[in-house]
Chain A
Amino acid sequence: MTQMDTTTDTTADATTDTTADATTDTTAETTADTATAASGGSEESDGLLAPVPDEDGAPFFAYAARGELRVQCCADCGEPRFPPRPCCPHCQSFDCLWKKVSGRGRIWSYVLPHPPLLPAYAAQAPYNVVLVELTDAPRIRLVGNLVAAADAALNSVPPERIRIGAPVKAAFHATDGGLTVVRWLLERP
């Protein structure tokens, strides 16, 4: 109980029940394996680093490949958690499901990296990196890029258009390496 007490408050008010279209697809593990296998390299042909999902993270990318943004949730107590992990920090259950969320969020913060950077990133610098707080689960924050279109460059949104609190929606970009990453579009471009 002590362990539970110390961790209960960390995402306590995440609102899992607001996901009206939440589904409980527990077959995610199957597709996850595919994502893991496809991720052998850490590079894609444009030189950007590709995610290297682990067993816990693979379902996220498998769903993204279908154009779905889903968040790992506890199958027993319902609490969402991120990054994905084997068991629930709230109730210690090992049963999980991946809930579909609306894909809407707000920019919690952002940064504009300048060189020196890895060559592929330097070529697009300064670009933005945003941290998006999900509307459906405010304690789930995803690192990503704000772009003008799903497949546009990392610097395709002028920095002056970026502000904390701006509403955004998820978009899906299939990388050359076979993985799909989640990117973000301004709700009001």
Chain B
Amino acid sequence: MGATRTTAGATAGATLKDATAIAGIGQTPFAKRLPESEKTLACRAILAALDDAGIAPSEVDAFASYTMEETDEVEVAKAIGAGDVTFFSKVGYGGGGSCATVAHLAAAVATGQASVGVAWRSRKRGSGPRPWTNTRAQLPTPAQWTRPYGLLRPADEIGLLARRYMHEYGATRDHFFNVALACRNRANQNPAAIMYDRPLTREMYMTARWISEPLCLFDNCLETDGALACVVVSAERARDCRQRPVYVHSAAQGLPAQHHGMVNYWNDDPLTGPSWAAARRLWKTADFGPQDVDVAQIYDAFTPLIPLSLEGYGFCARGEGAAFTEGGALEIGGRLPLNTGGGGLSEAYVHGFNLITEGVRQLRGTGTAQVPGATTCLVTAGEGVPTSALLLRS
């Protein structure tokens, strides 16, 4: 594997494949409320990630973040003591941008635009405001077609898709429970998770209050304060860092034809969302396929996104995503262990960045719910909005 890796300063025809690696990860505690500001939390997570890699902050020359981030790279670079920065990028569409931050840094490093990149997410969603609680906020233009009718929250928008999915394919609430349970079981093994030591039962799920029928409380992700970061360097550099390198094998973004953010209802086929577009490119540039993925970190703002993504990323055929979750398939030891840190549903909802760091931990062999011998991992960003995904390998 190592002999064929592309070097930084790539030549024509070079690919992203294994040219770069995630060399460091860092995070703050997760909680419903943290006292520190988003900027402070961002700095803590970034410095922790650099320390994990054994790289001095003054060497950082690239930053990547995604929208709905309060702190920008100017503030972060100044605070942590970065040197001259030669690459910075901000990816749109909130949770759809998580994996793209790593992809942008990988591209920058692989093409010689920078040498040490930092991606991060800092959020105070647990204690901060939510847009749909503000009656007086001006509706964004696309919302003229949805919001006045009471499709107010992401849970309502995805719930409408979920209802159709259940109707078309016989998916049931038990399938969604399978997803919630797998995430909760993993969180129960992860002391850093908000839902550590808080088991979920089927009875709790089935009797929980509705949020937007057919979605109940446990179909929804947490609201969390916290920050995370990771460091991207060339594959060569990573091999000299403190931790075992986790290579960026393939990356893609996805914005399908006729997409409309969060309400993909005007696509020909609303049940094939952005994951389908990202997946085609992701697998095209990879040396392995879905059957070779040892562990998956799939964006789980809502449980129905998992069956939809399982279909989009090719783990099963169209309409089979719900059935895929049966028989413990998403648990440790199952066909495709899922969200092994607990995911957005049960570890922390920080717009999916915890899925990236958990993917890294799994390929280092240091997960709190470790998949034995895992060498390949799929990480995805928010489905329902223009998205992104990564294939990582050790």
Contact = CB atoms under 8 A, between A and B. Distances in A.
Contact of B163 (A43, A54, A110, A141): A110
B258 A42 contact: no
A139 B393 CA distance: 41
Nearest to A52: B139
A42 B210 contact: no
A10 B135 contact: no
Contacts of A89: 258
Contacts of A172: none
Interface residues of A, number: 49
Contact of B144 (A12, A54, A141): A54
Contacts of B153: 113, 117
B258 A83 contact: no
Contacts of B268: 9-12, 139
A111 B156 contact: yes
Interface in A35-61: 42-43, 47-54, 57
Interface string B240-282: 0000000000000000011010010111101000000000000
Given A143-B265, A145-B149, A114 B211 contact: yes
Contacts of B257: 6-7, 9-10
A112 B153 CA distance: 12
Interface residues of B, number: 43
A67 interface: no
Nearest to B266: A82
Interface stretch (A16-24, A26-34, A119-127): A119-127
Interface in B212-229: 212-214
Contact of B145 (A111, A143, A164): A143
A111 B139 contact: no
A49 B139 contact: yes
A79 to B, nearest CB: 12
A168 interface: no
Contact of A10 (B141, B212, B258): B258
Contact of A143 (B135, B149, B209, B213): B149
A129 B157 CA distance: 10
Contact of A144 (B135, B149, B167, B258): B149
A114 B212 contact: yes
Contacts of B214: 111
Contact of A111 (B144, B209, B213): B213
Contact of B150 (A11, A51, A121): A121
A113 B220 CA distance: 13
A112 B213 CA distance: 5
B164 interface: yes
Contacts of B135: 43, 47, 49, 118-120
Contacts, number: 129
Contacts of B260: 83
Given A43-B136, A47-B135, A145 B160 contact: no
Nearest to A138: B268
Given A10-B258, A82-B266, A143-B145, A113 B150 contact: yes
A52 B164 CA distance: 28
Nearest to B214: A111
B102 interface: no
Interface in A120-179: 120-121, 124, 126-127, 129, 131, 139-145, 154, 159, 164
A122 B144 CA distance: 20
Contacts of A111: 151, 156, 159-160, 163, 212-214
Nearest to A117: B152
Contact of A42 (B138, B155, B212): B138
Contacts of B150: 48, 113, 117, 121, 124, 127, 129, 145, 154
Interface of B: 132-133, 135-139, 141-153, 155-156, 159-161, 163-164, 167, 209-214, 257-258, 260, 263, 265-268, 270
Given A51-B145, A145-B150, A164-B164, 10 more contacts: A52-B138, A53-B144, A54-B144, A109-B161, A117-B150, A118-B133, A127-B150, A142-B145, A145-B149, A159-B213
Interface of A: 6-7, 9-12, 42-43, 47-54, 57, 82-83, 89, 108-114, 116-121, 124, 126-127, 129, 131, 139-145, 154, 159, 164, 181
User: Top 3 closest A-B pairs, CB basis?
Assistant: A109-B164, A112-B213, A111-B159
27 contacts: A11-B268, A12-B268, A42-B136, A43-B135, A48-B148, A52-B139, A52-B143, A53-B144, A57-B141, A89-B258, A108-B164, A109-B160, A109-B163, A111-B159, A111-B213, A112-B213, A113-B151, A113-B152, A114-B212, A117-B152, A119-B135, A129-B156, A140-B266, A142-B145, A143-B145, A143-B265, A154-B150
